[in-house]
Amino acid sequence: MLIKKPKILGWVLNLFAKEDSSQINIELPFAALLFTLLAASGVTIYESWRKLCKIDLLPNFQKEAREIIRQVEVLGYDPLTVMYRRAEKTRSKNYREFLLGYVSAVRSGGNIVSYLKSKLRSIFEVQSAAAIRSIERLGTLVEAYAVMLIVTLCSYILFIVFATTAVFEPMKISGAPGVDTTTVCILIFFVTPLISILFMIIANAERKSNLIGVTQPYRAVIIPLIIAAAVMVAVALFPPLESLKSFTIFPAVVTASLLIISIPPALVYIRIAKVNNDAENSMPSFLRDVTEARKTGLSPEKSIIHATKRTGYGRFCETLNLIRSQMEWGVSLKKIFVNIKNKIHNWPVLVNFLILVETIKIGGGSAAALEILTDYGEKQKDVEVNKKSLLKPYVILAFIWSVLIALTTTMVATTVWALTQISLPGSVAMPLAVMQNQINLFSTGIILQCWLSGFFVGKVNEGTFAAGFKYSAMLVITAYISLLISQNFLGGMYAAVV
């Protein structure tokens, strides 16, 4: 045990180190962009680190900046020495190379702005490649999840055959464990949801959302959740509602309850996502308008006012109109940015706004500095658009597996029941009520599984579980309609045959 404990501790420390490294790498392009813009405006490296101390949108670099400033002001080291030492301690390879290159460029008397531009270009290329690799890992995760659902479907089919035929009676007589309702319920309502939750945890570690501080959808689910839970408890405990447990009604009750839970927060999320997606898509064009106006000789403030007059930005126009009205009334850029944070929750958009404000406050917002900001804002948009386009097929896959698992399970259950009615060797006639109870149980499990799958798909596709409410509602409806179609058509067909 004394030998194993350090190995386990080392594994845990490596896990946390990987998380720290990934967070630093996410923030590095924006921190490097800020360094580049400030250097182009004539700001020293020490003042750049002091600026970072006040930027809470980059929490890891804010922490790093505070440590560097502390060592400079308290311990008396020069900034380059501190940066060199921090490069030796950091777990991020990209951040280490950035620091060492910066220190080397300063000490050799090279052109700092030229180095930072070159390094910034390299960082964004690395980020783009990392985004592609991340999508490949997410694709593998989705495929693994689909395999899990196929295995689950096979288990459902196996349990249906065990429970509805006498083929396996010799196994029970010999002492082999049989299949009962309790075992099926454990599989449907405990094991399968637990596996789905495990996949969600893995997806959460791999896919990060651009939305920050979005809690409204989760608050919106509280009251619907209480209502749905009350409905299910009433159906389970009150005898007058016993009829709602019937074969034809109970899946509809479960579907309605899950939709009650999902639809209100889904509507809240859709409204928030629309505003932030419009902002994310429009931000590069807005920055380009500001830059081109600045090139004509307009002041930075007038350039921003000119850019806000452009239409076609969707709901982002509301934010731009707010910016224009506040600037025309003489509100400071710092106060305007605080107001923007109350309306926009998209992290890249807020960071770009912040960098624009800091560039104007310190260096006057030269056309060259704004050109750098605009170029890399456009590159960042290209990366995000490419990522979203590659992830869209996985949404279609979710609907395919929802239809497949619903149709196949019902088809097998109905087919087995029909076969028992014609007295095949090794089988006994199964009462219709038994078959209906089996389908009722599995239909409930399928609907619940599709609901949980929506949160997994939401996390993979949009990076946040709040998006899962939207996909869960759609998948639940898809599964229920598939169950209705299969039960009605196959049931009628086999009834005609029998």
pLDDT tens digit sequence for 251-268: 888 899 999 999 999 999
Q: Are 60 and 28 in contact (CB under 8 A)?
A: no
More confident residue, 254 or 414: 254
Q: Give the E-state strand segments of 224-381 in sequence order.
A: none
Residue 222: which pLDDT band, with cuts at 50, 70 and 90?
very high
**475 neighbors 196 (Cβ within 8 angstroms):** no
**pLDDT value at position 496?**
43
Res. 116: pLDDT tops 80 = yes
- Specify the pLDDT at position 176: 46
pLDDT exceeds 50 at position 17? no
How much is the pLDDT for 433?
64
Residue 124 lies in a domain: no
* Residue 13 confidence (pLDDT): 39
Mean pLDDT value of segment 391-403: 84
436-460 mean pLDDT: 86
Same domain, 349 and 403: yes
Give the model's pLDDT for residue 7.
43
Residue 300 lies in a domain: yes
Residue 375 C-alpha from the chain's centroid: 27
Instruction: Summarize pLDDT for 157-208 with one digit per residue, the tens.
Output: 777 666 655 554 544 444 444 456 677 778 888 888 898 899 999 988 888 8
Contact 284, 377 (CB under 8 A): yes
Q: Which residue has the tokens 């509301």?
A: 318
| Residue 16, pLDDT score | 40
Packing angle of the helix pair 112-164, 432-462 (nearest 10 deg): 180
d(C-alpha 316, C-alpha 277), whole Å: 9
Return the bridge partners of 346, or none. Answer: 211
Higher pLDDT among residues 34 and 263, named by residue: 263
What percent of the chain is predicted at pLDDT more than 90?
13
| Residue closest to 348 by CA, chosen among 312, 392, 299, 385 | 385
* Nearest one of 89, 32, 88 to 58, comparing CA atoms: 32
Band of pLDDT at residue 315, cut at 50, 70 and 90: confident
Look at residue 3 and tell me whether its pLDDT is greater than 80. no
* Residue given tokens 């060259």 in the structure block: 368
Q: Is 419 found in the same domain as 272?
A: yes
Helix and strand tally (H, E) in the chain? 19, 0
Whether residues 91 and 140 share a domain: the answer is no
* Residue 125 in domain: no
Closest-CA residue to 210 (of 337, 381, 373, 52): 381
Instruction: Examine the domain organization and report whether 315 and 415 are in the same domain.
Output: yes
Residue 347 lies in a domain: yes
Verify that 106 and 168 share a domain, yes or no: no
- Neighbour count for residue 78 (Cβ, 10 Å): 11
Q: Which of 152-161, 267-276, 321-330 has the lowest mean pLDDT?
A: 152-161
**Span 262-281, average pLDDT:** 92
Contact 359, 43 (CB under 8 A): no
One domain for residues 215 and 358: yes
Angle at 364 between CA 361 and CA 370, to 5 degrees: 100
**Which SS3 state, helix, strand or coil, does residue 187 take?**
helix
Q: Would you place residue 404 in the very low, low, confident or very high pLDDT band (cuts 50, 70, 90)?
A: confident
Please give the average per-residue pLDDT across 110-134, as a whole number. 81
Tokens of 42: 């004539």
| Banded pLDDT at 497 (limits 50, 70, 90) | very low
- Looking at residue 160, its amino acid is I
pTM, 2 dp: 0.82
pLDDT of the residue at 201: 92
Which of these ranges, 15-19, 251-255, 333-337, 457-461, has the smallest mean pLDDT?
A: 15-19
Domain end (from 77, 110, 143): 110
Q: Are 202 and 73 in the same domain?
A: no
If asked whether residues 92 and 220 sit together in one domain, one would say: no
Rounded to 5 degrees, what angle do the CA atoms 246, 251, 254 make? Answer: 115
Residues 383 and 437 grouped into a single domain: yes
- Does residue 260 lie in a domain region? yes
- Asked if the structure places residue 344 within a domain, the reply is yes
Instruction: Report how far residue 10's alpha carbon sits from residue 260's, in angstroms, rounded to the nearest whole number.
Output: 45
Chain-wide mean pLDDT for the chain?
80
Q: Are residues 240 and 373 in the same domain?
A: yes
Residue 233, burial from CB neighbour count under 10 angstroms (0-12, 13-18, 19+): exposed
Q: Which residues contact 236 (CB under 8 A, 6 or more apart)?
A: none
User: What's the rounded Cα separation, in Å, for the pair 37 and 5?
Assistant: 48
Same domain as 408, residue 296:
yes
User: Residue 62 falls within a domain, yes or no?
Assistant: yes
Highest average pLDDT, of 11-20, 67-76, 403-412, 427-436, comes from: 67-76
- pLDDT for position 270: 93
More confident residue, 206 or 478: 478
Domain coverage including residue 363: 135-498
pLDDT surpasses 90 at 472? yes
The answer for 430, left when phi > 0, alpha when psi is -120 to 50, beta otherwise, is beta
Is 306 buried (19+), middle (13-18) or exposed (0-12) by CB count in 10 A?
middle
Do 175 and 98 fall into the same domain? no
pLDDT at 73: 86
Assigned domain for 122 exists: no
Please tell me the total count of domains within the chain. 2
